[in-house]
Amino acid sequence: MSIQLGDNAPNFKAITTEGEIDFHEWSGDSWIILMSHPGDFTPVCTTELGRAASLSEEFKRRNAKTIAISVDGVDSHSAWIGDINETQNTKVNFPLIADPSREIATLYDMIHPNADNTNTVRTLFIIGPDKKVKLSLAYPPSTGRNFQEILRVLDSLQLTAHYQVATPADWNHGEDCVVIPAIKTEDISTKFPKGYTEIKPYLRTTPQPNI
């Protein structure tokens, strides 16, 4: 199956480095960052999991949990975590899912037949508290993920889930937002009392409404 934005994130049960979980139960009402990795003891992924661990307070502040998956087993995962903690000067504090049968990887369409091998490709999903897929990114093995971008997108998703705005190119938390086209110009002042700027009739901006 192919996972599309807006789809329900498939549920699964799995063995992880923190015990057995039911994914939806474990997720609760949090936002979820689900990262796949081709296998343990891979150099780029070692830096990525270390970086995710070092940002744990940033994710917590955004009511977000991180979880990773690879095709190796729990014993291998646990040994890899030791290396990650040592080399990245951090402490991995989120579960790593064991998926030796590739059932979960297949469920989430993480195996691409035209990739260089049949291991999981490096896909990242952001899943909302409503269990729907909000973002999907696939990275090549040679390029590490940009976690500042992941935090930026998470900020945008959480903002736009509650306010009738969109975020423009290169937007960062605290900057002006775009008023969505569905709102008539004459209604903007009521909905966004901080004011607005009309650049074009279809391009209206307003200060970020939730700060």
Q: What CATH number is given for 13-144 in this structure?
A: 3.40.30.10
pLDDT digits (tens, 9 = 90+) for 106-147: 899 887 666 555 455 689 999 999 999 999 999 888 899 999
Provide the CATH number for the domain formed by 163-206 in this structure: 3.30.1020.10
Q: Which part of the chain is CATH 3.40.30.10?
A: 13-144
- For the entire predicted model, the pTM comes to 0.93
Instruction: Identify which of 55-59, 98-102, 117-121 has the greatest average pLDDT.
Output: 55-59
Query: Which of the residues 14, 34, 45, 74 is marked catalytic?
Result: 45
Mean pLDDT, the chain, integer: 94
Task: List, as one string, the DSSP characters of 147-184.
Answer: HHHHHHHHHHHHHHTTSSEE--TT--TTS-EEEPTTS-
Place of tokens 């402490």: 91
Do the beta carbons of residue 95 and residue 12 sit within 8 Å?
no
Selection from 64, 144, 52, 45 nearest residue 90 by Cα: 52
Q: What is the pLDDT of residue 82?
A: 98
Structure confidence by residue, pLDDT tens digits, 160-200 = 999 999 999 999 999 999 999 999 999 999 999 999 999 99
Segment 59-76 mean pLDDT: 96
Closest CA to 194 of 208, 180, 184: 208
pLDDT above 90 for 38: no
**Mean pLDDT across the stretch 36-58?**
95
- Tell me if 45 sits within 8 A of 58, measured CB to CB: no
pLDDT score recorded for residue 116: 54
For this structure, is 177 an active site residue? no
CATH 3.30.1020.10 residue ranges for the chain: 163-206
CB 55 within 8 A of CB 154: no
Looking at residue 208, its pLDDT comes to 98
